[in-house]
Amino acid sequence: MQNEIIIKDSYAPIVSFLESLNAKKIFLVCDSSYGFLKVSEFFDKQKNVVKFSDFTPNPDYESVKKAVKLYKDEGCDVIIALGGGSAIDLAKCVKLYATMDDSEEYINQPVAENDIKLAAMPTTAGTGSEATRYAVIYYKGNKQSVTHDSIVPSTVIFDASVLKTLPEYQKKATMLDALCHGFESFWSVNSTDESKEYSKQAIKIITENLNAYLKNETQANENMLKAANIAGKAINITQTTAGHAMCYKLTSLYGIAHGHAAAMCVRKLLPYMIDNTDKCVDKRGKDYLDNTFKQLAEAVGCKSTAELCGNFNSLFESLELNIPAHTDEDIEILTNSVNPVRLKNNPVELDLETIKMLYKQILE
């Protein structure tokens, strides 16, 4: 069970938390947003904090090695990740690698659990990384997924003030990422009663708080942080599906935010799958999948799956997110970029021709 700390008017709960750990020295992994956050004033006053921010979005393995070295050299014993998904993922790797043999490449060594405490304070309401056993880093230019149950942060700190300074585009994109997590987890072939309950909770909170969140209202910001965390718990059980498998290259090819790309994919993938449940690969069968989409519509407050598709499309359009201009060559690059492993979690079979067709629709 993940411990949750909610910040309201002061940072006293963080002080109490750190005192309970008897932390000698705290390793704080923070991204470029750190200087804009109110909480930075709190950490800057702490004498036992070592900050590490020498990494870029989508951190590489070399950055992780630098972080592990600093953690060891400074004699740190607690890790706090303060930032978006990249900061949290890097902190997870520090926890995992900090007790390994530094004379060999960490990434090639067998994973062993340790008792280093890891807490996460997400500064976006989207990735849900603070609730999952996954971390993404880049090794020799290639995306590398690091997975282990022990890297799920034992404590998550929610501070709604961190969203106050988040740029509007990022607010929209990260919210869409959380929403897509809720959708994809719900229809995943790995879904369970528990994961579906998480998905429904997250979707409900997101839809009920969307307008107030975009107006930067404090309570809605707090609720959205919680929704992203719950959606992360769902993904931790099920993993993502075709929506995310198809979005990664869109992000790198066009320089758009991850959640923006994911929503572009889901809004075309959803109606296709609803119309093609005869291609169901979920062992629970076509009837089960048809019912799953009906349940998803109900979770969003829609009377039919057609209304569900229409509402998702209307939401995307209302956010005024651009669709990048593309070439025929782009379509080929995108089609060949899809990771077939992630497609195994998708309940409807997608062959290369279908993926190509979907990309054309996505970029219309």
Domains (range + CATH), the chain: 3-162 (3.40.50.1970), 167-362 (1.20.1090.10)
| C-beta of residue 220 within 8 angstroms of C-beta of residue 241 | no
Give me the sign of the Cα torsion angle 283, 286, 290, 291. negative
Model confidence pLDDT, tens digit, residues 66-116: 999 999 999 999 999 999 999 999 999 999 999 999 999 999 999 888 999
3-state secondary structure of 28: strand
Model confidence pLDDT, tens digit, residues 13-57: 999 999 999 989 999 999 999 999 999 999 999 999 999 999 998
3-state secondary structure of 134: strand
pLDDT at 251 over 90: yes
Which has the closest alpha carbon to 292: 263, 282, 176?
A: 282
pLDDT at 292 over 90: yes
Q: Span 3-10, mean pLDDT? A: 94
pLDDT at 339 over 90: no
Which has the closest alpha carbon to 87: 115, 116, 63, 111?
A: 63
Tell me the DSSP string of 135-147.
EEEEETTEEEEEE
Model confidence pLDDT, tens digit, residues 294-330: 999 999 999 999 999 999 999 999 999 999 999 999 9
Model confidence pLDDT, tens digit, residues 112-167: 889 999 999 999 999 999 999 999 999 988 888 899 999 999 999 999 999 999 99
> What pLDDT sits at residue 161?
95
- List beta partners, residue 134: 147
Cα 220 from Cα 208, distance rounded (Å): 9
Q: Is 78 left (phi over 0), alpha (psi -120 to 50) or beta?
A: beta
> What pLDDT sits at residue 29?
98
Q: Span 253-262, mean pLDDT? A: 96
Model confidence pLDDT, tens digit, residues 183-223: 999 999 999 999 999 999 999 999 999 999 999 999 999 99
Measured CA to CA in angstroms, residue 340 lies from 149, 254, 279, 344, 346 at distances of: 23, 22, 16, 7, 10
| C-beta of residue 247 within 8 angstroms of C-beta of residue 262 | yes
Mean predicted lDDT score pLDDT of the chain: 96
pLDDT at 4 over 90: yes
Q: Span 346-351, mean pLDDT? A: 97
Residue 36 per-residue DSSP state: G
CA gyration radius for the chain? 20
> What pLDDT sits at residue 152?
97
Cα 324 from Cα 170, distance rounded (Å): 17
Q: For the packed helices 168-187 and 258-275, what is the interaxial angle rounded to 10 degrees?
A: 30
Q: Span 237-243, mean pLDDT? A: 97
pLDDT at 341 over 90: no
pLDDT above 90 covers a percentage of the chain that reads 92
pLDDT at 231 over 90: yes
